[in-house]
Amino acid sequence: MFSAARFCVGAALLTVAVAPAVHAQSIGSSKPQYGTWGFDIAGEDKSTKRGDDFFRFANGAWLDRTQIPPDKPGVSLRLQMTDRTEARLHDLMEQAAAKASLPSNLEGEMGAFYKAFMDEDRVEQLGAKPIAPELDAVRAAKTRDALAGLMGRNNSDFEPALFNFYIDIDLKNPKQYAVLLSQGGLGLPDRDYYLKPDFAAAKGKYESYVGELLKLIGWPDPNASARRVVAFETEIAKASWTKAQQRDPVATYNPITVAQLEKLTPSFAWKAFLANADLSKVRRMIVAEKSAFPKLAAIYAKTPIPTLQAWAAFHIADNAAPYLSKAFTDTYFEMHDKTLSGQQQQKVRWKRAVYAVGGGDFGVGDRFGTFGTLGFGVGQLYTAKYFPAEAKAKIEALVANLKAAYRKRIEKLDWMSPATKKEALKKLDTYNIKVGYPDRPRDYSKLVITDDDLVGDVRRAGAADWAFYTGRLFGPVDRSDWSMTPQTNDAYNGSLRDIVFPAGILQAPIFDANADPAINYGAVGGVIGHEMTHGFDDQGRQIDADGRLRDWWTKSDAEQFKARAARLGAQYSQFQPLPGVHVNGDLTMGENIADLGGLTLALDAYHASLNGKPAPVIDGLTGDQRVFLGWAQAWRGKVTDDYVKKQVVSDPHSPRQFRVNGVVRNIDAWYPSFDVKPGEKLYVAPDQRVHIW
Ligand SMILES: [Zn+2]
């Protein structure tokens, strides 16, 4: 369950599936995907005032006529991009599976893995048997130390852990990797689900779910055990930091030796844990939520061993459920997809197979990332067929223009001192922009995949994934690395001072080689700008040009920045996606700053791209209008109410309508472009608008 720290543009939604109608964007066609110049005017709602709700103005007719499919928690143009990729991956996997032979190369491995997932009869026949080794180990672990040891297998098998661990660069020594430890142990998406009355219903369903899974694996006294498991997790939730607290890179950087860690959490068997994680040689680690650690260890020490065993057994079944028989997958769907995301129908099997094999955006559930998949290998096969070289060149040119626009903005900032500006520009120059797919493919040649052992395939792929990270732990940092698969419909700004745009996000409406440039500037330009400004947001600004966690801002610059950020946060905290449900301005701070910066830079870069000539008017719309519409169309979509409730507590991105409305109202050029007047709902007086970049 490895997951790298990163700041991204926001996945379309992590559990998605195909709508056959959008299968068809053909490669090499010369017509844009939407409308005649890249924007679908028919999707606008002209009866909505632009100054009241710009998101709805740009997208309302489409929103009204588009239903959320029952097998998804939402619908959007971004999701349709994922659908397109999914259909292509499906073709690739079907073709690979049809070539009957033992897997001797990457394509063969992909085909065998897919076939193993599709072999429903065998999966059905096996029931819970494939996870017997993990469950037997839990039954045999009769001490807390033995159970702590099993947790060390969290990144290489299905076991849960009270403390999550992963490997990323050491932020105060960015030429080296470090083992990072953070709070874990919860099965629901956030501590709020255990502690806030709004989530009482979901928590109740979770308890039933724990009981059902325990029953399916033949655990004694499943309902009483479930009650104790959820009570244990509730104690963990109370001791856990909030998601907003976890965003502070200084507070979460606490280097510690193994001996110090043992002292901080005396009742926890770290040596057994580290040995099973293949980290015995590690002497120094970095702890994130340091003050929570002794509390978590104390809760662990006082919890009866049978409860801890039931907890471990439940999580093993939960993590493995997508690969087990129908009884498991149905129960899993009811909890994770229906209750927590509002998705009404389970996806058909081939779609789940594509996710299981493909990883990343195509991982089963959002806890998986590339764990237990062939994610990067599938990406290699995908981009070879579906990512044209000219798209890469066009994006690289856009990136260069955005970078130049940012440089100019920083040079002109009235609130930043020359010393800080110098460092900021230095940092901007060191950014490594990665487009499409990694230069160096991941090697899967030693991985054993067979077409008759699905759980074994996942287990071995998970172990191979973790071995990849532990294998380089003591070596030099690889700046060419990617932590998102090429087929992923997302982008990120990573700890390697890199900005990464996988092939999966470089599709219409985010990027359309045949669209009017203003639309592309508004959409992909806004996304590129978004990722660039992450390097300078409330988190990123604490990292210097060498990738080191260091305060390089003068005190007054930092105060100016924080004051502006706080004003933006206050605006967002006012937004209510549902009556009484507020956006968390602190949790979403970094993403909101990035959205505002991103569209600001995109507009500048578009102006610069005109080389002094006036922008063409198309269908009566000016260049600036089309840039704003391009951004608004990129976020066209809607999700279920349950998904919104989950999003506001667990996702650092604001709900989509505010990613449009919250941004445009702070950009001066939007007002004359759409004749927005005082009194309209989004109107902000000029001196109240927040300008950061
Ligand atoms: Zn972001």
Tens of pLDDT, residues 408-417: 999 999 999 9
C-alpha 30 to ligand 1 mean position (Å) = 31
Residue 616 pLDDT > 90, yes or no?
A: yes
Whole-number pLDDT of residue 22 = 33
Other C-beta atoms lying within 10 Å of the C-beta of residue 481: 19
Q: What is the mean pLDDT of residues 575-596?
A: 95
Query: CA 589, 630, 642 angle in degrees (round to 5)?
Result: 50
> Which of 239-253, 350-364, 613-627 bottoms out in mean pLDDT, i.e. has the lowest?
350-364
C-alpha 594 to ligand 1 mean position (Å) = 6
Whole-number pLDDT of residue 14 = 34
Whole-number pLDDT of residue 8 = 56
C-alpha 516 to ligand 1 mean position (Å) = 25
Say if CB 115 and CB 97 are below 8 A apart.
Answer: yes
C-alpha 590 to ligand 1 mean position (Å) = 7
Question: Would you place residue 366 in the very low, low, confident or very high pLDDT band (cuts 50, 70, 90)?
Answer: very low
Residue 266 pLDDT > 70, yes or no?
A: yes
Residue 327 pLDDT > 70, yes or no?
A: yes
C-alpha 530 to ligand 1 mean position (Å) = 6
Residue 341 pLDDT > 90, yes or no?
A: no
> Which of 183-187, 270-274, 435-439, 681-685 bottoms out in mean pLDDT, i.e. has the lowest?
435-439
Residue 26 pLDDT > 70, yes or no?
A: no
C-alpha 588 to ligand 1 mean position (Å) = 9
Q: What is the mean pLDDT of residues 66-88?
A: 93
C-alpha 501 to ligand 1 mean position (Å) = 12
Whole-number pLDDT of residue 106 = 95
C-alpha 498 to ligand 1 mean position (Å) = 13
Report which of residues 394 and 633 the model is more confident about: 633
Q: Is the dihedral of CA 70, 76, 77, 83 positive or negative?
A: negative
In sequence order, the 6+-apart residues with CB closer than 8 A to the CB of 648 are 577, 581, 582, 583, 584, 655
Percent of the chain having pLDDT more than 90? 83
Structure tokens at 465: 């994934």
> Which of 17-31, 94-108, 254-268, 349-363 bottoms out in mean pLDDT, i.e. has the lowest?
17-31
d(CA 134, CA 158): 8
Question: Would you place residue 20 in the very low, low, confident or very high pLDDT band (cuts 50, 70, 90)?
Answer: very low
Residue 573 pLDDT > 60, yes or no?
A: yes
Whole-number pLDDT of residue 9 = 59
Other C-beta atoms lying within 10 Å of the C-beta of residue 578: 11
Say if CB 632 and CB 76 are below 8 A apart.
Answer: no
Task: Give every strand in the sheet of 173-183, ordered side by side.
Answer: 163-170, 173-183, 284-287, 254-257
Query: CA 284, 270, 150 angle in degrees (round to 5)?
Result: 130
Say if CB 533 and CB 597 are below 8 A apart.
Answer: yes
Helix (H) or strand (E) run with residue 634 in it: helix 623-634
Cα dist from 654 to 53, 166, 367, 484, whole Å:
16, 27, 20, 21
Residue 28 pLDDT > 90, yes or no?
A: no
C-alpha 302 to ligand 1 mean position (Å) = 40
Q: What is the mean pLDDT of residues 505-528?
A: 95
Cis peptide before 388 (omega within 30 of 0): no
Whole-number pLDDT of residue 497 = 87
C-alpha 591 to ligand 1 mean position (Å) = 5
Cα dist from 213 to 128, 155, 233, whole Å:
10, 22, 16
C-alpha 8 to ligand 1 mean position (Å) = 4
C-alpha 657 to ligand 1 mean position (Å) = 16
Q: Tell me which range, 88-102, 150-164, 336-350, 540-554, is most confidently predicted by mean pLDDT.
A: 150-164
Question: Would you place residue 342 in the very low, low, confident or very high pLDDT band (cuts 50, 70, 90)?
Answer: confident
Q: What is the mean pLDDT of residues 351-367?
A: 69
Cα dist from 426 to 368, 422, 544, whole Å:
36, 6, 9
Question: Would you place residue 396 in the very low, low, confident or very high pLDDT band (cuts 50, 70, 90)?
Answer: confident
d(CA 462, CA 136): 20
Whole-number pLDDT of residue 211 = 98
C-alpha 7 to ligand 1 mean position (Å) = 5
Provide the Cα torsion 278, 281, 287, 292; round to 10°: 70
Strands 432-436 and 498-502 come out as parallel
C-alpha 119 to ligand 1 mean position (Å) = 38
In sequence order, the 6+-apart residues with CB closer than 8 A to the CB of 129 are none
In sequence order, the 6+-apart residues with CB closer than 8 A to the CB of 285 are 165, 178, 179, 180, 181, 255, 256, 257, 258, 261
In sequence order, the 6+-apart residues with CB closer than 8 A to the CB of 39 are 515, 516, 519, 626, 629, 630, 633
Whole-number pLDDT of residue 357 = 95
Average pLDDT, the chain: 92
Question: Would you place residue 557 in the very low, low, confident or very high pLDDT band (cuts 50, 70, 90)?
Answer: very high
Whole-number pLDDT of residue 364 = 34
Residue 331 pLDDT > 90, yes or no?
A: yes
